[in-house]
Amino acid sequence: MSVQESTFHGFANPVDPSSAELRSWAYQPDSVPLTSMPPDWDLLVSGDRLIMTLFDLAMDAHCPARRFALHCLYIYAADGIRTSFRAHPKRRFRKLVDQAERNGDEMMRTWAHNSRVLLSRPELFVYREWCEGGLVREGRRL
């Protein structure tokens, strides 16, 4: 049985979910609505430990929580770039961007493009766009 087919029973610790829990929730996001999550849950899960899971979810056009995962990728990119990669390894970030450019659909290529633009021009950072979901909602390129 795949994760998508299994029933999601909630998070043992919503502040620090496991990769399997996050993946299971992403395919049944209505089981635990985002509104019931801790404040700034998107910021909490957007770190190195879960970024590969979030990336996989964002790459899956059939994932019901895909836009949430993409939103977390925007947070991850901005956090890394704005801290000169003290928050996240630059190598991992570059691998994700390269993979999104090579294998992603338009949404993922837009994220990769915007991430490269911010990397070359960090002054273009706007909190609302990168950390509050503006670029995900608008789906636009910088």
Which residue ranges make up each domain of the chain? 19-138
Give tens-digit pLDDT for 3-52.
Answer: 454 667 778 888 889 999 999 999 998 888 778 888 899 999 999 999 99
Single-letter residue type at 70:
L
Give tens-digit pLDDT for 88-125.
Answer: 899 999 999 999 999 999 999 999 999 999 999 999 99
- What is the CB neighbour count within 10 angstroms for residue 84? 9
Q: Is 42 within 8 Å of 71 (Cβ atoms)?
A: yes
Q: How far apart are the C-alpha atoms of 80 and 37, rounded to whole Å?
A: 24
pTM to 2 decimal places: 0.92
Give tens-digit pLDDT for 47-87.
Answer: 999 999 999 999 999 999 999 999 999 999 999 999 999 98
Q: Is 3 within 8 Å of 23 (Cβ atoms)?
A: yes
Q: How far apart are the C-alpha atoms of 52 and 58, rounded to whole Å?
A: 10
Q: Is 25 within 8 Å of 68 (Cβ atoms)?
A: no
Q: What is the pLDDT of residue 47?
A: 92
Split at pLDDT 50, 70, 90, the class of 1 is: very low
Work out the burial of residue 112: count CB atoms within 10 Å of its CB; fewer than 13 is exposed, 13-18 middle, 19 or more buried: buried
